Structure 1
Amino acid sequence: MNKDTIMSDFVPGIIAGTINAIVCIVSAMALAALLFTGPLASFLSQGIGILLLGTIIFAVFSALTATYPLTLIAPQDIPIAILALMAATVAAGVGSELDAEHAYQFVFVAIGLSSILVGLFFYFLGRFKLGKLVRYIPFPVVGGFLAGTGWLIVKFSFMMMTDLNPGLADVGILFESTFIFEWFPGLIFAVTLLVVTRYFSHYLLTPGILFGSILLFYIIMFGLGFSFTDMEQNGYLLGPFPGGGFFPGLPFKYVPLFRWDLFFIHLPAIATMMVLNAVSVLFNYSGLELIVKRDFDLDKELRLTGYSNILAGIVGTPAGYMTLSETSMSYNLGARSRLPSIVVAVISMVTLVFGADVLSIFPKVILGGLLLNLGLEFMVEWLFDTWKRLHKTDYAVIVLILIVIGSVGFLEGIVLGLLMSIILFVINYSKVEVIKYELSGKTFSSNVERSSHLKEILHDHGNEIYILPLQGFIFFGTANRLLMQVQSRQEDQNLGELKYLVFDFRNVTGLDSSAINSFNKLKILAENCRFHILFCGLNDEMEAQLYVEGIVAEKSLIVRIFQDLDHGLEWCEQHILHRVLPKDDGLERKNKKGSFQHRFSQIADFFEIKNCPSGTIMIKQGEDPGGITFIESGKITVELETDTGKKIRLKTLGPGTVVGEVSLYLGSSASASVITDTDCQVFFLSKESFKKMNLEAPDKTVELHTFIVELLSERLSGSNATIQALMR
């Protein structure tokens, strides 16, 4: 590693770590003040120490174990806010049940126990691989979360610079002469840094602007006659901080006298904290993925966060998880190593032991400007940069989440964003055609190969079969459209009478109650109009739904179930043939006209007559068929065995059909097996006899060649018709 590379990482790492340490220390003081208030206010210094100790443990753990170098885990406001409610309840009992000292001891131990419970919860979420659930969160919700995070950082930056917490209705206060000079320089610094870093890139750029701004601040302030003490007293610097060290000791000595009864009362609140922490940590990592443009193993991150919280809980510090703002700060400043986490741990340790006086020299407006810059980065990226990249409805979700987070609350914004995304998904998904294709018996048939005469009959009656391959999840948004489509076909007199309605569920993932209701209406329509409904390719769950609702019955003549579309169409075709052909052996008589003996009597001597019982393997997949076989009587199946061992029916052939013709002409091995379904009589022409016939009776074999060409052309024509129907 060359010197430039080291410096390009070292300098940003030191600066990022120092800034993050200051933010963490200031945050620790603010969160401690939230937690230790009222009767517990006298223990504020111990509370600051508890938060700083947690910061050190999380920073060291991050530096040693984080899968991404810049990841920084730190105590967070969500668990602190819930713990503050518990502390306030306990503090309210001071004087009646507990004195202030025992109340502090209870809160100290309770903080540690809650962190251990949170850590175990995180661990088990990761252990059972539930982190991937966040992958199902819509992209606009994550974008709204990051925009809302940016707004909260902007708000916090103004709080830091002005010591005010104004709502949207109180924004005017910021423009009063008393406060405008406290935040306006920070705004200039943040906007300058934002614009410059968007158009230029160098590892010394941000540090240079930072140090230059600090130097300019002191030059201006000293020039205006302010001394260091004046700046500190007027709130222009971070200090003054409480003097001395903050180390609070360890909570183990307070465990024997711990009030478990009080702790159990607050378990529901702690359970809420667990869930909110889990949602927050997964959202933070989803946001970080977009910022640093890499994927994280969320289950592993949950387990690591769980370990860190268990370790922190043992020494009595609050729960924490990856802080998106500080981690993003390090990334934006150009750091790429674990150095920022190490610096945070070192500075926090020095503060814990010796106090925070050294941090008093940092201008509050510059630190606030850095935070303001980070917040503006988030908001510019998700409100400006995404305007042209996202669909306007998705963009509206981002804006809506931001508004709700800013005006109501963080969790409410996320929940509303999820609800809006779900509604938009339902609306958009309902526009997806549930009917994949519209086919008829003219354009699509079963894999049963029949004689030319029978094919003509089926083609003439093909419009009686209406085939609807379905797709996706059939729910209230699409089910009614399916019903209307069938009603439209039933009323179309140009296509003739509908007798067979065939549904293919192979690509359907599920049905809701509205879909079941629509199929029930279809059953009533079928009973009134006297057509059959065939459900093909149902999975076990969908079949059970239809049986429970009474749509399918064991002895139903209207509604039938088949394992796949192929067998369903075969039943329809057989039903048509038995209905159309004469009952007095008409089917057999028609077949005899197209039999082998009748058609190729002149070359019959070259063939071998074979009688094959049911179950005979006439041709085995992968082997040489040895010749061509003409089916005189009976029925056979062409079956393909896949690499997984699954057997698929390709064709079922009857009298007047042929197998093995492709292998005979191309000299290839069989691509599928041929098995007899019934006792069959066949005429077999071996390769040797085929050659002999071509030599001895070439004029007589022309008819055979013509028949094979017609057969293959007919199959090709049928395939083309099917393709055209599918492409409509």
Structure 2
Amino acid sequence: MNHAPEPISFELPAKKISTQRASRPIVGAAAALSISIPHAIGVGLLAFAPLATLGSFSFLALWSAAVPGALLTLLARSKGVVYGPSTAVALLFGGMLALVIDAGAAASITAAQALAITGVFAALGFVLQSLIAWSGLARMARFIPVAVTQGFAAGVGLSLILAQIKGLYFISGAHWGALLGWHVGIAMAVVALSHVLQRLWPRFPTLLIAVTLVALPWLFWAPGVELRMAAEQAVFMLPVVPDWWAAPWWLVIDRVGFQLASLALLMAVVNSLEVLVYHQHLEVEHGQRTAHGPVLGREGWVGVGCALVGMIPASTSLSRSLTALFYTGKPSLRAGQWHALAMIAVAVSGYLWLPWVPMAVLMGALLITGVRMIPPPLWGLFQTREGRGGRLQAWVVALVFVGSSGALALLAGLLVATLDLLRASGEHAIRRIHLEGKLRSRHVRGPQDEGWLAPRMATVAVFELQGIVSFGVAAQVVEQVRSHLNGHRCVILDASRAPSWDETGCLHLIALAHELQKQNVALLLCGVHGLAAQRMARLHTYIDLDHALEWAEDQILASRPAAAAQADSAQADSVQADSVQADSVQAAALGELSDGLDPAQQAALRALMNSQRYAPGAVIIRQGERERTLLWVAAGTVTLSTSEVPEQGLRLSVIGAGAVFGEMAFLNGIARTAYAHAGAHGAVLSSLSWERFQQWSRDDPEGALLFITALARMGIRRLGGISQELRAAME
């Protein structure tokens, strides 16, 4: 009775997880809050700064930091994500607002009208983000190199650092003096205190504690310096309701419509990239795989609604989410929810306490945030050689991000990654180089031909290609071919492992062929199919390496002096000339199989053989036939293949004049293992049946033994060639 085998379970050993960070979501929310508050005030005030001439606007920064993020927390519900307006979106929103106010100045545009027009174009950007999600372009994020994503995160962090340095100088009156010293000192006090507290209590959000401890003294003791505070004293105000009906739409669109649409497109690209970068981080570091399309779609449509009501749209916040994860240790929904509730409380109560908080305190918090956003591996750029190229690429992306924008940083990163990929692909595009002439075709030739070919095959260089041959890869292949040629008269490029070529790669190869032709060096290309074969039809192309090597061998044999080739030319002429006598054909057919036989034994052996001429392409033997007959090629060639139609199967071997085939069936009586066809010029064969050989062996056992010895010697030589070919393929 058969029993089903018991299922086998494979359990990997559990890895130790550091418990240094607290797992309570409220701790991560508090840490993210220490960034959101200064970020909301700093970036929000910059975004709404164009409204300064139209009335108070500080309350708009708080509401934009709280409400859109809270809506996304309710509707998107992604683990490990904290929502809020990103720096790029806020600054682009502010750029749109400035353009709208400037263009509508002639129509005495109001704040509500400006927010209406700006909100529509910001909503257009998030509609484009949703289209990116709907079209499936978000799936392209998996092709973004890690160096680009790390560089993007570092670019955001460096931008925060640079913005705070500029901000400290700006709030100090844009000049050096005691006021600047106070602001810098307060910011550095936040940084230093946060660092010290972090070392003492690594389980708590020390940045928020440091901000509070530095800001509290200013409530009770103020020096004789007028510091810039986070907000002006104001009363509680609700967000402004945009005025869509009275806004000067056509005036603004006519003047700056194209610029607004361009900023909307840039907003969609940059924000989508930032979202995808963070979710890629979640997948790599925490194993949380998320469908990028639905994430972008949900955030896009919520962003559309927020923009239409005059708020800065929120999305996945890279800085706040990473900070929360720094403390929670694993993705959690609760951290984002606590953060959203706290930001609503800040927006409601901010008018009471923000006027008492120095702006330098918040800038110090953002300085720490910027430093933490730079991935730790990037700090080891000059410490270790391993992965230095990737880190250098990341820093290039980061610096471009700081100097321009996220979109240009993405382009720079993809350009650097592409160049690095081309360089690496070019270095490994040549799988193996054969310069010693050890590679040979499957054309089995007579001993005289082999003796002539062996020392001269070193003039044939074979380069095995692999991978996609693109424009940059082809250029490096050409350079490597040039550098390795040393007296070679024939170059064979085996592209059977190159799945595709681009048009520029084909042109590089055609140019190389012309260059080598001027140097009297032949270039052969094999293993190319499809469109690439059509583009390079002017080159000497062959179906595989075996055919190319056979052509090179034929050219070497054709270059023999007339005296050396006299014996073999007589055999070749016998295929086409009817006047050749059968005796001479049979005598030539014996070749080295007659070694050691005296004339009488040779005559007896010839008497046992039958001779037959085959037309070009004629079938000589069929796979599966059972016939114990040994065949010699007296003249011409015979092709052994796996198919009855040689072009449809694999060419196993080409048997030349003086060589033998069919010995396995002759000696063992097994069925034929391949098809045999006459070559392009036909063939003349001599055959010996097993029955006649048995009769001869009884009459002359000594001669039969010498014959079997010669046959074994030929088989061993052929097996040696096959072994060498297999060894080259395995290597």
User: TM-score w.r.t. structure 1 length?
Assistant: 0.72
| SS at 1:595 equivalent | helix
Whole-Å separation in 2 of the counterparts to 1:612 and 1:193: 95
2:495 is paired with a residue whose SS is strand
Distance 2:675 2:540 in 1: 28
Alignment correspondent of 1:493: none
**What is the alpha-carbon root mean square deviation over aligned residues?**
5.3
User: Where in structure 2 are the equivalents of 1:302-701 lying within 5 Å?
Assistant: 302-315=293-306, 316=308, 317-336=311-330, 337-350=332-345, 357=352, 371-379=366-374, 381-389=376-384, 390=386, 395-398=391-394, 436-439=432-435, 442-459=437-454, 461-463=456-458, 465-470=460-465, 473=470, 474-477=473-476, 479-480=478-479, 482-483=481-482, 485-486=484-485, 488-489=486-487, 498=489, 500-507=490-497, 510=501, 516=507, 519-520=510-511, 522-523=513-514, 526=517, 529=520, 532-546=522-536, 552=538, 560-577=540-557, 580=560, 581-582=565-566, 585-587=570-572, 588=574, 592-595=587-590, 599=594, 614=617, 616=619, 618=621, 620=623, 629-632=630-633, 635-639=637-641, 647-654=649-656, 656-659=658-661, 673-677=674-678, 683=687
Q: 1:712 to 1:356 in 2, by over 3 A?
A: farther
Q: Is the 1:245–1:352 contact (alpha carbons within 8 Å) kept by the matching residues of 2?
A: no
Q: Distance in 2 between matches of 1:74 and 1:157?
A: 19
Aligned residue for 1:52? 66
CA distance in 2, matches of 1:666, 1:248: 98
Other structure's SS at 1:446 match: coil
Q: CA deviation at 1:87?
A: 1.7
Is contact 2:609-2:688 (8 Å) kept?
yes
Corresponding residue number in structure 2 for 1:246: 238
CA drift of 1:53 comes to 2.7
- Which whole-Å CA distance do the structure 1 matches of 2:333 and 2:692 have between them? 81
1:256-271 matches, within 5 Å, as 259=249, 262-263=252-253, 265-271=256-262
Cα distance between partner residues in 2 of 1:87 and 1:511:
46
Cα contact 1:608–1:685 (8 A) shared by 2: no
8 Å Cα contact 2:76/2:295 also seen in 1? no
Inter-CA distance 649–103: structure 2 relative to 1 (3 Å threshold):
same
Gaps of 5+ in 1: 197-203, 491-497, 553-558
Q: Distance in 1 between matches of 2:585 and 2:199?
A: 86
8 Å contact from structure 1 (residues 435, 469) kept in 2: yes
CA shift, 1:16, in A, is 1.7
Aligned residue for 2:541, secondary structure, equals strand
Equivalent position of 2:144 in the other structure: 134
- Partners in 1 of 2:288 and 2:370 — Cα distance? 26
Distance in 1, matches of 2:257 and 2:358, equals: 41
CA distance in 2, matches of 1:443, 1:268: 66
Deviation at 1:77, TM superposition (A): 2.6
Number of aligned residue pairs: give it: 670
| In 2, Cα distance between equivalents of 1:524 and 1:179 | 68
Provide the rounded CA distance (Å) in 2 between the counterparts of 1:193 and 1:677: 89
Spell out, residue by residue over 1:317-374, the C-alpha distance to the aligned partner (whole angstroms, 9 max, x if none).
5444432211110111124211112123333445566766588999988866654444
Structure 2 vs 1, CA of residues 208 and 520 (structure 1 numbering), >3 Å: closer, same or farther? closer
SS in 2 for 1:535: strand
Give CA deviations for 1:614-641 in whole Å, capped at 9, x if unaligned.
5649454xx6977675354675444458
Among residues 713, 717, 726, which one is paired with 2:716 in the alignment?
A: 713
Correspondent of 1:149 among 141, 150, 156: 156
Question: 1:313, CA displacement in angstroms?
Answer: 0.4
Alpha-carbon contact 1:29-1:48 (below 8 Å) kept: yes
Mapped partners of 1:245, 1:238: distance in 2: 17
Q: 1:597 to 1:270 in 2, by over 3 A?
A: same
C-alpha contact 1:24 1:55 (8 A) present in aligned 2: no
CA contact (8 A) 2:63 2:347 kept: yes
Q: Structure 2: how far apart are the matches of 1:403 and 1:116?
A: 26
1:90 aligned partner: 100
TM-aligned CA deviation for residue 274 of structure 1: 2.9
Amino acid at match of 1:630: L
Alpha-carbon distance in structure 1 between the residues aligned to 2:351 and 2:668:
89
Aligned with 1:207 (options 204, 207, 215): 204
- Measured in 2, the distance between the counterparts of 1:165 and 1:659 equals 94
2:107 alignment partner, SS class = coil
The structure 1 residue matched to 2:86, chosen from 76, 81, 102, is 76
CA contact (8 A) 1:236 1:364 kept: yes
Contact kept? 1:636, 1:676, Cα under 8 Å: yes
Pair 697,256 (structure 1): closer, same or farther in 2 beyond 3 Å: farther
Tell me the distance in 2 between the aligned counterparts of 1:413 and 1:174: 37
Equivalent-residue separation in structure 2 for 1:546 and 1:435 (angstroms):
21
* Cα distance in 1 for residues equivalent to 2:535 and 2:179: 65
Q: 1:108 to 1:403 in 2, by over 3 A?
A: closer
2:6 corresponding residue in structure 1: none
User: How far apart, in 1, do the equivalents of 2:220 and 2:508 lie?
Assistant: 79
CA separation of 1:520 and 1:214: change in aligned 2, threshold 3 A: closer
The CA distance in 2 between the partners of 1:363 and 1:27, in whole Å, is: 14
Residue type of the alignment partner of 1:113 = A
Distance 2:203 2:366 in 1: 13
Q: Aligned AA for 1:674?
A: Y
What amino acid is the match of 1:82?
Answer: L
Q: Which residue of 2 aligns with 1:122?
A: 132
CA gap of 1:113–1:415, structure 2 versus 1, over 3 A, is closer
In 2 relative to 1, CA 524–20 (structure 1 residues): closer, same or farther, beyond 3 Å? closer
Indicate how the Cα distance of structure 1 residues 396 and 209 shifts in structure 2: closer, same or farther if over 3 A, else same: closer
CA contact (8 A) 2:640 2:651 kept: yes
Corresponding residue to 2:116 among 102, 106, 130:
106
- Alpha-carbon distance in 2 for matches of 1:586, 1:689: 26
Question: Is 1:631–1:658's contact at 8 Å kept on the other side of the alignment?
Answer: yes
- Contact 1:130-1:299 within 8 A present in 2 as well: no
Match of 1:200 in 2: none
Give the SS at the match of 1:506: strand
Partner of 1:187: 191
**CA positional deviation for 1:462:** 3.0
For 1:595 and 1:148, how far apart are their aligned partners in 2? 80
| Structure 2 unaligned spans of 5+ | 1-16, 575-583, 595-600
The alpha carbon displacement at 1:712 in A equals: 4.0
TM-score by length of 2: 0.72
Task: Write the distance in 2 (CA, Å) between the matches of 1:340 and 1:109.
Answer: 29
C-alpha contact 1:281 1:322 (8 A) present in aligned 2: no
